Amino acid sequence: MILTNRLPDFLEADLNNAIRTTDGFQKFFKTVFFNLQFLKYVTCITYSISKSSDIKTTDSDKFLINSFQIPSEGTWLQLLNTILSSSNNVYLEDVKKILRSKIRSQTIKKFLNTYYSIFNTSGIGQECITSIEFFEKVINIKNRLVSHNLVTPELAEKVVNDLIPTTYDIINHLDNLLLISL
């Protein structure tokens, strides 16, 4: 069961817009955009949880001040990792477990095989991924393919056919995190 009803309205609308798009090229771009927005949302939830206690989170606050003038998606991911690694906050323990636990499915294996074959890197046959690793791969797709205008309609179709089911796996895995934010 896909739990998109736990997403905020703007993310649910972006995801539905991507899914309903019939053109594979546009569907690819909209799905990548959704995942990057979802990363930002997850980072905001995590930051909010980290600030919900009396424990100081100076590393993440310093990172925000020094690196968020014009943040890239990589900067958002770096903030998320900074929050998770710099805090002894008990409120974040469940969040850390959710974001760092391995997710295994056939759709993830298929996505990873496509990802590694596109970039000619080792990893084909890998069967599991963490949510953070998934976001890293989406950022890499955006940086290496979209930003350099290397996406052909055929490549977009190939990637999006594996990216959408994997996106649903990630959303379902992060369901408990989304519940925390409600």
Q: Model's pTM, two decimal places?
A: 0.90
The pLDDT assigned to 181 comes to 55
Given this model, what pLDDT does residue 28 score? 95
What's the burial of 125, exposed, middle or buried (CB within 10 Å: 0-12/13-18/19+)?
Answer: exposed
pLDDT of 1: 44
Token pair listed for 174: 């992060």
Looking at residue 146, its pLDDT comes to 87
Intervals of the chain under pLDDT 50: 1, 182
CA distance 120 to 80: 28
